[in-house]
Amino acid sequence: VTTNAKRVDKLKMTFTIDQNRITQTGPQDIYVCITAPDGKPVSVEALGSGTFTTRDGVQLPYTKKIQINYVQGEKQPVSVEWSQNSKFQTGEYKIAIYNNGFKIGEGTRTLKKGGLFG
């Protein structure tokens, strides 16, 4: 685990899906949308990135899509990893999690310059 951008080879996001009594048990698609410090979405088609439609009808790029086997009324831990062919930039990465067209969570991760001279 590091916050030094030069040493980062992947981002690992962990979160918990809260219990929901409405959503039926079964497979659910989770979309992870990462925005780089330069404001551009992190999206590499060759690594499984694409687009999805929100409940507002807006097309958004996603970085990674995973499928979980949701159990109605239970909390569920989820872990997602993203590695890319290029180096990670220094700065703040914004991460948003979507399910069924709704944003269900968000967070940030800051990667810093490393080394003796910053």
**5, pLDDT greater than 80:** no
Contact, 95 vs 109, CB < 8 A?
Answer: yes
**116, pLDDT greater than 70:** no
Picking from 4, 28, 1, 29, the residue whose alpha carbon sits closest to that of residue 13 is: 1
Contact, 107 vs 53, CB < 8 A?
Answer: no
Q: What is the mean pLDDT of residues 1-30?
A: 87
In the predicted model, what is the mean pLDDT of the chain?
90
Predicted model pTM: 0.88
**96, pLDDT greater than 90:** yes
